[in-house]
Structure 1
Amino acid sequence: MMVEQHWWNGDSSPRGRRDVYIRTDGQRWDVEAQIGGASGRSRVQECTSRTSALILADAWRGTHPSWRQMPR
């Protein structure tokens, strides 16, 4: 699976960092929400399409303005 899109909340502290990823292999899609950086906890949800993955990623990010999309 390759990362299609990645956002982070701008907090670099180990406990405060949040990341949301959309990944695909070209046919399957999933969204991962990660708390606490690479060594923290995460949750992965499979999605049926890119559109549903974007909807879920938006919901998991919420509306806080600090979220930034990371370059690929």
Structure 2
Amino acid sequence: MRVEHHWWNGDIRLARRDVYVRTDGEVWEVEAQMGGPQGKSKVQQCPGKASALILADAWRGPRWQWRKL
């Protein structure tokens, strides 16, 4: 799987959040990660790119100042 999109909320402490959109060319998935690499994460498979981007947008929400990496 390659990372197509990665957003970060800009917090380097415990409130760090990352959202990834990945694909292998056929399967698309979105991962929401809380607390950095050692924190919790949730992965959801999606039927296509459009639905993966919609889900990633929903998981980011309006609360943070997200940065695209």
Report the TM-score when normalising by structure 2: 0.97
For these two proteins, the number of residue pairs brought into alignment is 69
State the Cα distance separating 1:64 from its structure 2 match. 3.0
Superposed structure 1 runs of 4+ greater than 6 Å apart: none
Name the % identity.
62
CA offsets, 1:42-62, max 9 Å, x none? 000000000000000000000
Q: Distance in 1 between matches of 2:63 and 2:6?
A: 16
Structure 1's unaligned 5+ residue stretches are none
Structure 2's unaligned 5+ residue stretches are none
CA RMSD of aligned residues (A): 0.8
1:68 corresponding residue in structure 2: 67
1:12 corresponding residue in structure 2: 12
Is 1:59 matched with 2:62? Answer: no
Q: Distance in 1 between matches of 2:15 and 2:10?
A: 9
1:35 corresponding residue in structure 2: 34
State the Cα distance separating 1:63 from its structure 2 match. 1.5
| SS, match of residue 63 in structure 1 | coil
